Each structure stands twice: as C-alpha cells, then as structure tokens.
C-alpha cells in the first residue's frame, strides 16, 4: 500500500491565531466566555483523559459499550459495499476501532481517515493502524472540522463520517444546524453519518459527571486559565475562581462556568487587554446539550439526512445515531 496521505489544512500559526481571536472575542464580551475547544490545550487533553476514567463520567464507558457490543450490527447496517471511514475529532482513534475491526473482518474496510487539529496524533494513529490494516487506504486530515469539511477524501464507494464522544452537544443550536448542513454538503447521496450523542436522563446523574468527587472536572475547567497564562502571557490566578456546572431543564443543557471569588484585575499582555472581575462574575466556559432521540432524528432529517437506526447502551445513557445522506 502507498504511504498514507496527509492533508494539512492548518498549522501551529493558524491555531495560535484562532486562540487569540477566540480569547479576545470571548473576554471582551458581556458576559465573558471562552470556547470549549480552548480547554484541550496544554494539560487539557491529559486531564480530559483522566476525567473519562472517573466513576461519575458515564459518557465514555457508555459509548464504548455501544460500539464494542454493536460493531457488527452497525457494519451490517451500512450495506454490503466497501466503506471508507472518516472520524472527526479522532484523537487516538480509540472510539472507532471496534467498527474498523468489524468492517475489516468482513473484508469491507476500504480506508480510514482520522481528522483532528493535532498533527502529531494524526501521524501516530496512521503509523499504528498501518500495521493493523495493511490492505486499507489510510490518510489523515489535520484541520478544524467546523471549517475544513470540504477536504474530506473523495474516495470511490461509500463513505462513513463518524463524530463520536458527545462533542456535538458542545455546539450551540445554531452551530449544530450549521455543522450538519456543512457536512451534508460535503457528502454524496448514499454516504453515511454516525453520530454519538448524550441522551436526556436524570439531571442528578448528568450533573455528577461534571462535579466528580475527585475534582477532575473542576481542574479541567480551570486549566483553560493556565493555558491563557501560558499562551497569552496573562496573569489569571486560577485559585481565585471556582468551577460551576448548572443544569438548564428547559434546554437540556449543562452550562459550565468559572466564577470569580474576589474582585480581580487581570492583564492579558499577549492581547493588550486589561480585564476586571467583580465578586461572583462568571466566565462561561462551555455547554453540553443532552438530546431526546426523536429531537435528534428531526434535526438530522431537517438538514438532509435520513435517520436509519439508533443504538443505545443498556441504560439508555448514550446513543449512536446512524443516518444516510439523501
């Protein structure tokens, strides 16, 4: 097989420019906010990995159970043709591997493309999977899947785009609609979309995942301030902020915030910003929306997809939604 193709849609300069734009826009807004994607810089990815291992954090275990237990069913639902799989936000591509294995055992894994902003992880995954799947066409896309969906591989045959881990719920309603429309435009009729989503359940179970007893979620949330200190020469004092996670029953959304516990002045030298915080003032740091199955089916249908099947774990905590582009 030829060497894996690597499509570079952004580099460190682009990521730095995006960080500056996001931070300036968010910190000068009222109320202040920081996009969820800023949490994964520096120690953020490692902290999130630790978070997924906490007993209260059901999302990763529940989705892994679906993909492990139902991989053969999902593969069969894709029909009999060879399939090229593209995973958005792939990271180490751990979530998708049961499905890759099922397709490979059936002789139908045409190719695999991890799509992520971290070039090093994309390269590492391709090196690792080249041994596991020597007959598949492997390639990678280093980019932002909210901006670079036009760079999906134009492989012959059927393509499956997988978007797992519940990240879809971190988008606002408008962002979700725009993402689905952009994805549909990038696909051909007959291509597939597999979406992992967190389902509505007892709010106490949901909130516990964002307020774990070990405090890992709080550390993960506060890490965004350390990242701004490091990347933008800011002088935030993270110990003077507290982690807050609130449940909004009307929107079925967890709202994460950092609340100032004392009056503060903060210098963000890298942006030339002088900020002030009053006691109780909050920085909104991300949302996580939970979904009813029928609601998500309606969103998919409204943006050019035909919902085909939904698999859930045994407790109906998470769902894997399969839809076809029409």
**What is the pTM for the complete model shown?**
0.95
Does the N-terminal peptide bond of residue 215 adopt cis geometry, omega within 30 degrees of 0? no
- Which helix (H) or strand (E) covers residue 121, if one does? helix 119-132
Residue at token pair 């969906």: 149
What's residue 268's pLDDT?
A: 98
The answer for residues whose C-beta is within 8 angstroms of residue 150's C-beta and 6 or more apart is 186
Please check the confidence at residue 91 and state whether its pLDDT lies above 80.
yes
Residue at token pair 């070039």: 119
C-alpha 322/C-alpha 252 separation (Å) is 22
- Is 56-201+292-325 a CATH 3.30.1180.20 domain? no
Beta-bridge partner residues of 193: 161, 323
Residue 71, token pair as written in the block: 């991989």
39-78 pLDDT, tens digit per residue, is 987 789 899 999 999 999 999 999 999 999 999 999 999 9
- Positive or negative, the CA dihedral 156, 194, 167, 93 is negative
- Please count the CA atoms within 13 angstroms of the CA of 102 that sit on its side-chain side: 19
DSSP 54: S
Mean of the pLDDT values across residues 267-285? 98
Beta-bridge partner residues of 267: 274
Residue 301 to residues 168, 177, 205, 295, 323, Cα–Cα distance (Å): 16, 11, 29, 10, 9
221-258 pLDDT, tens digit per residue, is 999 999 999 999 999 999 999 999 999 999 999 999 99
Q: Where are the domains of the chain?
A: 8-40+203-289, 56-201+292-325
């Amino acid at each position: 097989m030829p060497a894996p193709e690597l499509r570079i849609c952004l580099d460190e300069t682009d990521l730095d420019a995006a960080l500056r734009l996001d931070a300036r826009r968010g910190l000068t807004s009222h109320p202040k906010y920081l996009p969820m994607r800023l949490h994964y810089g520096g120690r953020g990815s490692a902290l999130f990995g630790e978070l997924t291992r906490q007993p209260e954090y059901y999302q990763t275990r529940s989705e892994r159970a679906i993909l492990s237990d139902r991989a053969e069913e999902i593969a069969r639902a894709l029909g009999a043709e060879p399939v090229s799989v593209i995973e958005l936000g792939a990271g180490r591509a751990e979530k998708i591997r049961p499905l890759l294995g099922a397709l490979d055992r059936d002789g139908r894994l045409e190719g695999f493309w991890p799509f992520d902003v971290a070039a090093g992880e994309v390269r590492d995954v391709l090196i690792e999977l080249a041994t596991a799947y020597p007959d598949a066409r492997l390639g990678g896309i280093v980019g932002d899947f909210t901006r670079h969906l036009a760079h999906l591989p134009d492989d012959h045959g059927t393509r499956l785009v997988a978007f797992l881990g519940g990240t879809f719920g971190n988008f606002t309603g408008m962002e979700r609609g725009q993402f689905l429309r952009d994805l549909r435009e990038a696909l051909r009729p007959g291509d597939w979309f597999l979406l992992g989503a967190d389902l509505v359940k007892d709010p106490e179970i949901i909130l516990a995942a964002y307020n774990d007893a070990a405090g890992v979620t709080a550390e993960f949330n506060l890490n965004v301030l350390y990242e701004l200190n490091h990347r933008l020469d800011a002088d935030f004092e993270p110990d003077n902020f507290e982690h807050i996670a609130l449940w909004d029953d009307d929107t079925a959304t967890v709202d994460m915030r950092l609340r100032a516990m004392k009056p503060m002045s903060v210098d963000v030298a890298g942006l030339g910003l002088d900020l002030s915080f009053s006691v109780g003032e909050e920085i909104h740091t991300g949302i996580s929306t939970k979904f009813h199955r029928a609601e998500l089916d309606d969103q998919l249908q409204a943006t050019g997809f035909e919902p085909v099947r939904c698999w859930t774990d045994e407790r109906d905590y998470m769902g894997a939604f399969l839809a076809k582009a029409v």
